[in-house]
Amino acid sequence: MSGAGRAAVTPTVVARRRARSPRQVALKWAFLLACIAYFVLPLLGTLLFSLRSQPFLSAFTDTLNDPQFYSSLEYSFVIGIVTIVVSIVLLVPTAFWVRLRLPRLRPIVEFVTLLPFVVPPIVLVFGLITTFSRPPLPLTGSNLGSDVLLVCAYVVLSFPYMYRAVDTGLRSMDIRSLTEASQSLGAGWLTILWRVILPNLRVALLSGSFLTLAIVVGEFTIANFLARPMFAPYLQLISGNLAYEPAAVAVISFAITWAAMGAISLLGRGSRSKIQVGGAR
Amino acid sequence: MTSDARPAPAARAGRRRLGPQWLGVVPFFAFAALFLLIPISYLVVGSFQDQQGNVTVQNYLNLSRPITASAYMASIEISFVTALLGGLLGFLLAYVVIAGGIPGPFRSGVMTFSGVASNFAGVPLALAFIFTIGRTGFVTVILREVLGLDLYGSGFTIYSKIGLEIVYLYFQLPLMVLIIAPAIDGLRRDWREAAEGMGATSYHYWRYIALPILLPSLLGSMILLFGNAFGAQATAFALTGGFINLVTILIGGQLSGDVLGDRNLAYALAMGMVAIMGVTILAYTWLTRRAERWQRS
Amino acid sequence: MRTARSVSRVAPLAAAAAILFAACSGAATSAPASESAPAGSAAAGGTDLTALVAAAKQEGGLTTIALPRSWCNYGALLDGFTAKYGIPINNLNPDGSSQQELDAITANKSNKGPAAPDVIDVGLSYGPKAVSQGLVAPYKVSTWSDIPDTAKDPDGNWYGDYYGVMAFEVNTSVVKTVPQDWSDLLTQPKNTVSLAGDPTGSNQAVSAVWAAALASGGTLDNAQPGLDFFKKMNDAGIFVPVIGKTATVASGETPIRIAWTYNALADKDSLKGNPPITVVVPKTGRLGGMYVQAISAFAPHPNAAKLWMEYLYSDEGQIAWANGYCNPIRYDAMVKANKIPADVAAKLPDSSGAALPTLAQIEAANKTITTGWPTSVGVTVK
C-alpha cells in the first residue's frame, strides 16, 4: 500500500526479489511453519477444550451474551490507548535526548526502565495506594483519580517495552545528523521530534504500542486493587469454579486483542502518511 | 522551546557542562520517582525490618539459605536460557518476516500476533500448553495414537524446567520479534547492495556489516527478555506452582499466600532481584560499549 | 489436645469449637463481653437494626474483598444483600489471599475511595494478626451468643464464620476406582492426584498435607507424616506437580484434586455432569479449616460493614452458606431452634469427626509443612 512512500523516508530491506537458492527458500518456510505450529497449537488446544462445554458452544454464547464482557473490554481498551499516548509522550523525548546529549545516563535510564520487571506488582500497587490516598495527591478518593493512578501505573509497566522499542528504533537512524540538519533549517525541538523523529520511529512505536495495549488488557493485580472495572479482573471474576468458560474467554480475548492491534496498525499507517505530507511541504 | 539556548554547534561543547542538559530527562525521572521509586522505597525500607518493624539485616542474611540461593539460580538459569533461545529464534523470525520476501499482510499479521502472544501469560497460557502437550493434551494423544510416538514415555514432562522453558518461549519469542523489528527495518538495503557490488559474500555482509550494526540492539533486546522472564511469576506458578523453586514464586508465597508469610523476607528477595538486574545492566553496558567499538572499527 | 477428637454430625461445632481454642490463653474461659456498642457509631447496638439499615443506606455502598462468587455461595450472598438493602457491593480481588486482604487495609488506611475494603474474610490465624496490627474494629452481631465462645474473639474483633474439611474431587470418567480414604490414593494409577494450591503458600494445600498426616499416623501436633505421605505418592508418580484447577480435573490431566469440601462440591455443580464428578470426604484425616470475619478499622462504610455482618450471621445468611456446602458457625444453635430446612441439612457434606486445630497448632503445622515441603517431599522439578 505505502511501499513507495516508505522507501522515500527510510530505505529498508523489504521484499528483496533477488533469486534465492531453493534450499534457502525451503529452510525459510520450514522455519516459518514450525513457528506457526508452535504458536497456533496451544490456542487450538484451548479452543478444543472450550468446545467440550455442554450444550455445544455454551461457553461462547454465555460469554458473548454478558454485557459486562464488552464494558470491561471497552474500559481496558480506553485505558490502554491513553496509556500508550502518555508512554510515547514521556519516553520518546527521553530516549531521544539521552541518545543525543546524555549518553552517559543511558545505563541509569535503562536500569530504571527495567525495574518494573523486578518489583512485584502487589508491592507496586500497595505502594501507590499508600502514597496517593493522602495529601498532597489524594488520587484514590475518586474514580477519575483512580483512573489517573491506574494509567500512571501502566505507563510505568510499559517502560521496559516502550523504551527498548524506541531505543532500538533510534539506534537504526542517524539522529545526530537528522537533528543537526533540522536545526540548520531552523526547526525547534518540538518540530524535530514531531516531524523528523516520530515518523521515522513508526515501526518502533507500533511495537511499543502493541506491547503496551497487551499489558493493559491482561494486567490483573493493579486494576484489581485499584477497583477499576477492567477486563482482567472481570475474567478472574467469572472464571471461579468454571472449566470451559475461561478457556473460551481466553480464545475470544486473544482474537479481540489481535483485532484491536490490527486497528492500531492501520491507524499508525494512516497517521504516518499524514506526517509525510507535512514533511513534503 | 529551549532550542535557542542550545544551537547545534554548542552541542558537543555542552557535553561537559551537564547543567541545563539534565532538564531534558526531568519529566521522565520525575514520573519514575512518583510512580515507581516511591513504591520501591517501601520495598527498601521493609527489607531492613523484621516483622515487628525493628531494623535488621537478617532478611538479607537469610538470602544465602540453600533454598533461596537455589531459587535465584533456577530463576537466572531459566531467564538466561529463554532469553538466549527466544532472542535467537525471535530474531530469525523477525528477519524472515521483515526482510525475507514474505507478503505484506502476513508480515503485519505476525507483528500484531506477536503483540498479543507476548502478553499471553499466567493461568491461560499454562492451561493452553497443558491442553496441548500435557499428559492428556491433544498433541500428545495424536502423537501417541497416530504416530506411535510416546512423548511422556521418553521422559519428557511439561511440569519440568524444560517444559517451563518451552512455555516461556511463547511470550519471549514474540517479544523479541517486536523489539528487534525496528532494528531490522533500519538495515539499509543499499548497504547490502553496496556490499554485494563489491563482491562480498553473504557471510562477509553479516560478519562485517549487519551483525556489528545489529549487535547492540540484539544485546539490548535480550536483556529485556531476561528481565521479562526473571520477573514472570504467574505462568510458572500456574504450571508448576510450589514445585519449581523460582524467586518470584518464593516472593509470591510470602506476599500473597494465605499461610502466615514473612513479608519482609519477600522484600529482601525482591531487592536481591533488583541487584541482579543492576548487575545485568552493568554487564550489558560493558558489552554494548565493546560492540559499538566493534561497530566503528 | 493431642489427638483428633470425634464430634457428632448433628452438633459438630460445639464440640469442635471447644477443641478450637482450648489451648488459647483465656479465650475459652472469659464470658462473652457485654453487648455494648463498639466505638465508631451510635447505630452499632446489635438490636437496633432499623437505625443501622438507615445509616448503612446513607453510606451508599460496601466494599468487600477476596470473596469468590463460587466460594461458599458468596455470589448469592453478595446479590442477596444488595437486593435486600439496595446497597451496591464492590467486591475487590475475588481470588485474593488472606495476606492480601490485610495488606489492602494497611495500604488504604487513609483512603475512603473504592479501593479500601470494609470487611474481610480471612483464615483463622489472620484474625489475631489483624488485631495485633490494629487493622480491625470490634463489632458483635445480634446473634453473637450463638457463635461458640471458642470460635470468636471475646472483644468482638473477629468471629468464626464457616468451616469445611478436606475432600477428594474425583473425575469419574477417568478414575475407575474412586478412593474412599487417603491410603487409597497410594494405589491410584500414575499422574492422577493434584493439590488445589501450593503447599508453601496456600492454606488449602497446607491443610491437605496436614489432613494426610492425621490419616497416616500424625496428630494435630505432628504434621510430618503428611509430608512423608506426599513424598511416597510423588515417588510413585501418582502425584502431578501442577496446581489443580477445575479445568485440569475436567480435562483429565489431574483427575483427582484435593480441596475443601465446599470448593470440590461447587466444582461438581458448575460442571453439571460434564464430566461426572464425585466428591469423597475421606474416612480419616478430617481436618477442619475455619475462616473468620472482621470489619476494617479504617472502613469507609462502617455501618454498611456492620449491616453486612448482621446479614451474614442472620438465619438467611447462615442458610446461604450452608447451601454453598460450608458448615456455618451458628449451625448447632439453628439446628436446636429447628431453623435449618431438611434439604439444606442434607446438602451439607458429612464432616463428622472433624478435628479443628488450635491457633498454636496451626502455626506449628504451617511451619513444618511450608518449610519442609521443598526439602523433605523433594518435589523439586528438574
- ipTM value, please give it: 0.85
Interface contact A129-C111, CB threshold 8 A:
yes
Mean pLDDT of C265-275: 91
Interface test with C, best of B135, B254, B258 (most C CBs within 10 A): B258
Residue A3 confidence (pLDDT) above 50: no
CA-nearest residue of chain A to B32?
A156
Please answer whether residues C170 and C280 qualify as being in contact, where contact means their C-beta atoms are separated by less than 8 angstroms: yes
- Residue C60: pLDDT band by 50, 70, 90 thresholds? very high
CA-nearest residue of chain A to C247?
A243
Residue C72 confidence (pLDDT) above 60: yes
Q: DSSP labels for C350-368? A: --TT-B---HHHHHHHHHH
For residues B18 and C67, which has the higher predicted lDDT (pLDDT)? C67
What is residue A131's three-state secondary structure? helix
Residue B296 confidence (pLDDT) above 70: no
Mean pLDDT of A216-231: 86
Mean pLDDT of B163-189: 90
Residue C42 confidence (pLDDT) above 80: no
Predicted local confidence at residue B297, as pLDDT: 56
Predicted local confidence at residue C374, as pLDDT: 81
Residue C90 touches chain A, beta carbons under 8 Å: yes
Q: How far is C245 from chain B (nearest CA, A)?
A: 9
Out of A21-30, A111-120, A231-240, C129-138, give the one with best mean pLDDT.
Answer: C129-138
Is the link from the previous residue into C117 a cis peptide, with omega within 30 of 0?
Answer: no
Interface contact A160-B227, CB threshold 8 A:
yes
Interface contact A246-B104, CB threshold 8 A:
no
Q: How far is A73 from chain C (nearest CA, A)?
A: 18
What's the rounded Cα separation, in Å, for the pair C343 and C346? Answer: 5
Q: Which of C100, C108, C270 is opposite residue A122, by nearest beta carbon?
A: C100
As given in the structure block, the three cell numbers for residue A57 are 458452544
Interface contact A120-B248, CB threshold 8 A:
yes
Interface contact C253-B243, CB threshold 8 A:
no
User: Could you report the per-residue pLDDT of C192-232, keeping only the tens digit for each?
Assistant: 999 998 888 788 899 999 999 999 999 999 999 999 999 99
* Short-list A135, A133, A164, CA closest to A226: A133
- Residue A196: pLDDT band by 50, 70, 90 thresholds? confident
Q: Which residues of C touch A125 (CB under 8 A)?
A: 107
User: Could you report the per-residue pLDDT of A148-158, keeping only the tens digit for each?
Assistant: 999 999 999 99
Mean pLDDT of B71-93: 94
Interface contact C115-A246, CB threshold 8 A:
no
Residue B243 confidence (pLDDT) above 90: no
Residues of C with CB under 8 A from a CB of B: 96-100, 103, 122-123, 125-126, 129, 191, 195, 197-206, 240-243, 245, 247-248, 251-253, 363, 366, 370, 373-375, 379-382
- pTM of the predicted protein model: 0.84
Please answer whether residues C99 and C343 qualify as being in contact, where contact means their C-beta atoms are separated by less than 8 angstroms: no
Q: Chain B 222-261, CB below 8 Å of chain C: which residues?
A: 237-245, 249-250, 252-261
The CA–CA distances, whole Å, from B189 to A169, A175, B125, B142, B205 equal 16, 19, 38, 45, 12
Please answer whether residues A245 and C272 qualify as being in contact, where contact means their C-beta atoms are separated by less than 8 angstroms: no
DSSP class of residue C219? B
Q: What is the 3-state secondary structure (H, E, C) of C89-130?
A: EEEECCCCCHHHHHHHHHHCCCCCCCCCCCEEEEECCHHHHH
Instruction: State the average pLDDT for chain C.
Output: 85
For residues B146 and C201, which has the higher predicted lDDT (pLDDT)? B146
What's the rounded Cα separation, in Å, for the pair B64 and C94? Answer: 35
Q: Please list, in sequence order, all residues whose beta carbon lies within 8 angstroms of the beta carbon of residue A191, skipping any fewer than 6 positions away.
A: A182
Predicted local confidence at residue C94, as pLDDT: 78
What's the rounded Cα separation, in Å, for the pair C280 and C106? Answer: 39
Mean pLDDT of C261-284: 93
As given in the structure block, the three cell numbers for residue A157 are 509497566
User: Could you report the per-residue pLDDT of A41-85, keeping only the tens digit for each?
Assistant: 999 999 999 998 888 888 888 888 888 888 998 999 999 999 999
What's the rounded Cα separation, in Å, for the pair A252 and A64? Answer: 9
Mean pLDDT of C323-347: 91
Interface contact C103-A126, CB threshold 8 A:
yes
Partner residues linked to C257 by β-bridges: C169, C194
For residues C25 and A89, which has the higher predicted lDDT (pLDDT)? A89
Interface contact C104-A145, CB threshold 8 A:
no
Please answer whether residues A59 and A53 qualify as being in contact, where contact means their C-beta atoms are separated by less than 8 angstroms: yes
Predicted local confidence at residue B131, as pLDDT: 95
For residues A27 and C6, which has the higher predicted lDDT (pLDDT)? A27
Mean pLDDT of C309-321: 96
- Residue C262: pLDDT band by 50, 70, 90 thresholds? very high
Strands C136-137 and C288-296, bridge-based pairing: antiparallel
Please answer whether residues C209 and C287 qualify as being in contact, where contact means their C-beta atoms are separated by less than 8 angstroms: no
User: Could you report the per-residue pLDDT of C159-199, keeping only the tens digit for each?
Assistant: 999 999 999 999 999 999 999 999 999 999 999 999 998 88
Q: Which residues of B touch C243 (CB under 8 A)?
A: 237-238, 241-242
Residue B189 confidence (pLDDT) above 90: no
Interface contact A111-B281, CB threshold 8 A:
yes
Predicted local confidence at residue C309, as pLDDT: 97
- Residue A197: pLDDT band by 50, 70, 90 thresholds? confident
Mean pLDDT of A122-148: 83
Mean pLDDT of C68-97: 90
Mean pLDDT of B37-45: 90
Q: How far is B60 from chain A (nearest CA, A)?
A: 17
What is residue B188's three-state secondary structure? coil
Please answer whether residues C280 and C161 qualify as being in contact, where contact means their C-beta atoms are separated by less than 8 angstroms: no
Residue C21 confidence (pLDDT) above 50: no
Interface contact C70-A226, CB threshold 8 A:
no
